[in-house]
A and B are shown apart, each in its own frame.
Chain A
Amino acid sequence: MNDLSGATKVDTAASGKPLLAIRNLNVHYGPVHAVRRVSIEVPEQSIVALLGANGAGKTSVLTACMGFLPSTAEGLTFAGRSIAGLRTEEIVRSGMTLTPEGRRVFPGLTVAENLAMGGGATAALRARAKVNRERVFDLFPRLRERLNQKAGSLSGGEQQMLAIGRSLMSEPKLLLLDEPSLGLAPNIVDQIFDLIVLLNKTGTTILLVEQNAEVSLDISHTAFVLRGGEVAASGSSAELRGRGNLDGLYFGI
C-alpha cells in the first residue's frame, strides 16, 4: 500500500537533497489517529503536492510540521536540522512558513498591517520588511492599491493573495500552502497556480496541499496521496497522473 520507495522521484528539478524530511509522522486528536506513519520528502527547489479527500489528514500534516499541533515522528528535519519539538516561531525563523487553510487574514487589520505581521517574527525581518513588501507587490500589484484597506473588505481572491504575500514576508525557503484555491473563482484559481509556479522558479520550495488534483499534478514534481491518514500512493506527479484513476486512490476503490 505504501509504495514510498523513493525510486520514483526522478524529476530533474526535484533531484536536490530533501529540504523537508518527514519520517513516520503520527498525529492524534484524542482517540482519533488522524495521521498514521506518514513519511514525506520535499526536495530542495521542488513543488511537492499532497493530495487526498476531505479529512484525509493533509492539514494535520502541515500544522504538525509547523510545530502547531502535538505530534510524534521518527524524524522531522528541515534544511538538515531537526525541527521536532521546536516552537512555531522558531520554525518560521528557520525558513518554513504555512499559508493556512481558509486564508486567515486579520480582517480588522489593513493590508499593510497584515503584511507587517507576516514579516514580524524577528527584528532582522522587520528591518527588511520594506524590501520584502516591494517583492510581494511585484507579484500582487493589487495589494499595493489596497494597502490601507481593511483585509476583511477584500475579495476572496485578494485575501488569498494577501495570505500568500503575508507568508512571503518571512522569506521562506519552504512554503506550505494549504488549499490555496479553495472557494475561488476559476480564473483566480489559474492565477494562484501560475503564481505558485513562478514562486518555485524564483527559488521557493513548495509543499502544496490541494483538492484540485489535476492542476496540482500538472505543476508539481512529486506527489503524495493521503487516504485515512496514511500515504496511499506516492511518486512522480507525471506518473501518478498517468495512472488516471485518482478517485480510486482517494477513496480506495
Chain B
Amino acid sequence: MEFFLQQFINAMALGGTYALIAIGLAMIFSVMNLINFAHGELMTIGGYVLFFLLVMGMPFGAALLLSLVAAALAAVAMELVAFRPFRNADIVTMLLTSFAVSSILHVLFQNFIGVRPKAIAVPPAISGALTFGTFNVGVVPLISILASVVSVVALVLFLRTTHVGVAMRAAAQDFRTTQLMGINANAVILAAFAISGLLAGVAGALWIFQRGAVDPVMGVMPLLKAFIAVVVGGLGSLPGAAVGGLLLGTLEVFLRAYLPEGLLPFRDAISLSLVIGIFTFYPHGLFGDADAVR
C-alpha cells in the first residue's frame, strides 16, 4: 500500500509535468494550428538561464523566477522571429519552421554552452524527502504536483476571467471571426506564446529538480511525451492535453514499478501500445470532438 501510494505520487508528479508541457503545445496549436516542435527547447532555455544565474551567485528563488520569465520571453521571441513571418503559410511550412528552430537551438546550445550536462545545485530543501512515520516521500514530486495544480488553476482563471483569456478561447474556436471583431490577433497569439513559454519554464524547472542538470537536448524526450499526450487528448483541447499528460505519466511510472524485470526494457513500447489502443475507442483523441478550449 505504501509502495503504491509512493508510486501514485510519482505518477501524478510526472504526469503533471507532462501536462504542463502538453497544455502549452495544445494552446499554440488551438490558436494558430502550429505544432511547435521547438517547445521543448523553452524548457532547456529556462534551465540554462537558471544555471547561469546561479553561477553568477544569484539566490535560488530569484534565479528560478527569472528563468521562468526567460522561458516566456524566449517563446515570445520565437513567435516574433520565426513564426510571424510565416503566419499565413500552410501547416506543413509552420511545422518545418518549428523543426528548424529546434535544431538551430540544439546546435547553439552545443557549440556555445557545451554538449555535456551542466549540474544545477538544487537546494537540499527541495532535493530532500519528507518522512511521515514509516512513509517516505520526496519533496520534488510534491512540488511538481503542487506546481502543476497551481499552474492549471491559474490558467483556467486566466482563460475564463480576463479579456485576453476569453479572446484566446474565441481565437481557438474561430480565428477569423475573432479578427473580425477588431481584436488584435497578434496580441492574442503573443499572449498564447508567453503563457506556453511560462508553462514550459515551470515544467523545465521541475525536470531539473528531478535530475539536477541541464543539457542541450533536455527538452526532446519530454516534448515527445507531451506531443503524444496532446494527440491522445485530442489535438488542440486543453483539458485533453492535461488528461493525456497525466495518463502518460501514470502509465510510465506504474509500468516501471510493477513490470517484471525482464519486460522493463520494453516499458516505453508497452506504454505507447496502450496509448495507441485508446485511438481504437476514441479516434479523435479523448476530447477530440469537443470545443478546442473550454
Q: B-contacting residues of A (Cβ < 8 Å)?
A: 66, 68, 88-89, 91-93, 97-98, 100, 104, 106-109, 113, 116-118, 120-122, 126, 152, 166, 170
CB–CB B177/A108 < 8 A: no
CB proximity to A under 8 Å, residues B175-224: 176-185
- Least distance between B223 CB and chain A CB atoms (Å): 27
Is B293 located at the chain interface by the 8 A CB criterion? yes
Partner of B181, one of A108, A152, A170: A170
CB proximity to A under 8 Å, residues B271-294: 291-294
Q: Which residue of A lies closest to B187 (CB)?
A: A89
Is B163 located at the chain interface by the 8 A CB criterion? yes
Q: Which residue of A lies closest to B169 (CB)?
A: A109
Is B174 located at the chain interface by the 8 A CB criterion? yes
Q: Which residue of A lies closest to B160 (CB)?
A: A113
A113 vs B179: C-alpha distance when bound (angstroms): 15
Instruction: Name the A residues within 8 Å of B293 (CB-CB).
Output: 108
A66 vs B183: C-alpha distance when bound (angstroms): 13
- Least distance between A223 CB and chain B CB atoms (Å): 25
Instruction: Name the B residues within 8 Å of A113 (CB-CB).
Output: 166, 169-170
Q: Which residue of B lies closest to A89 (CB)?
A: B182
CB–CB B181/A118 < 8 A: yes
5 contacts between A and B (CB under 8 A): A89-B184, A106-B170, A108-B169, A113-B166, A117-B181
Instruction: Name the A residues within 8 Å of B228 (CB-CB).
Output: none
CB–CB A121/B173 < 8 A: no
CB–CB B179/A109 < 8 A: no
CB–CB B177/A106 < 8 A: yes
Q: A-contacting residues of B (Cβ < 8 Å)?
A: 163, 166-167, 169-170, 173-174, 176-185, 291-294
Instruction: Name the B residues within 8 Å of A104 (CB-CB).
Output: 174, 177, 180
CB–CB B173/A120 < 8 A: no
A113 vs B176: C-alpha distance when bound (angstroms): 17
CB–CB B294/A108 < 8 A: yes
CB–CB B179/A88 < 8 A: yes
Instruction: Name the B residues within 8 Å of A106 (CB-CB).
Output: 169-170, 173-174, 177-178
Partner of B183, one of A91, A100, A120: A120
- Least distance between A153 CB and chain B CB atoms (Å): 12
CB–CB A120/B182 < 8 A: yes
Instruction: Name the B residues within 8 Å of A121 (CB-CB).
Output: 181-183
CB–CB B166/A109 < 8 A: yes
Instruction: Name the A residues within 8 Å of B291 (CB-CB).
Output: 107-108, 152
CB–CB B166/A88 < 8 A: no
Besides A117-B167, A118-B181, 9 other A-B contacts (C-beta < 8 A):
A89-B179, A89-B183, A89-B185, A100-B177, A106-B173, A108-B294, A117-B181, A120-B163, A121-B182
CB–CB B163/A116 < 8 A: yes
CB–CB A88/B169 < 8 A: no
CB–CB A166/B173 < 8 A: no
Known: A116-B163, A117-B167. A107 touches B173 (CB 8 A): yes
Query: Considering residues B166, B178, B185, which has the most beta carbons from chain A within 10 angstroms of its beta carbon?
Result: B166
7 tightest Cβ-Cβ pairs between the two chains A and B:
A92-B182, A121-B182, A108-B291, A89-B182, A104-B177, A106-B170, A106-B173
Q: Which residue of B lies closest to A169 (CB)?
A: B181
A92 vs B185: C-alpha distance when bound (angstroms): 13
Q: Which residue of B lies closest to A98 (CB)?
A: B180
A27 vs B167: C-alpha distance when bound (angstroms): 30
Known: A66-B180, A93-B182, A118-B181. A126 touches B163 (CB 8 A): yes
Q: Which residue of B lies closest to A99 (CB)?
A: B180
A89 vs B179: C-alpha distance when bound (angstroms): 7
- Least distance between B177 CB and chain A CB atoms (Å): 4
- Least distance between A88 CB and chain B CB atoms (Å): 5
A77 vs B293: C-alpha distance when bound (angstroms): 38
A126 vs B181: C-alpha distance when bound (angstroms): 12
Instruction: Name the A residues within 8 Å of B167 (CB-CB).
Output: 117, 120
Instruction: Name the B residues within 8 Å of A89 (CB-CB).
Output: 179, 182-185
Q: Which residue of B lies closest to A151 (CB)?
A: B173
Instruction: Name the A residues within 8 Å of B177 (CB-CB).
Output: 100, 104, 106
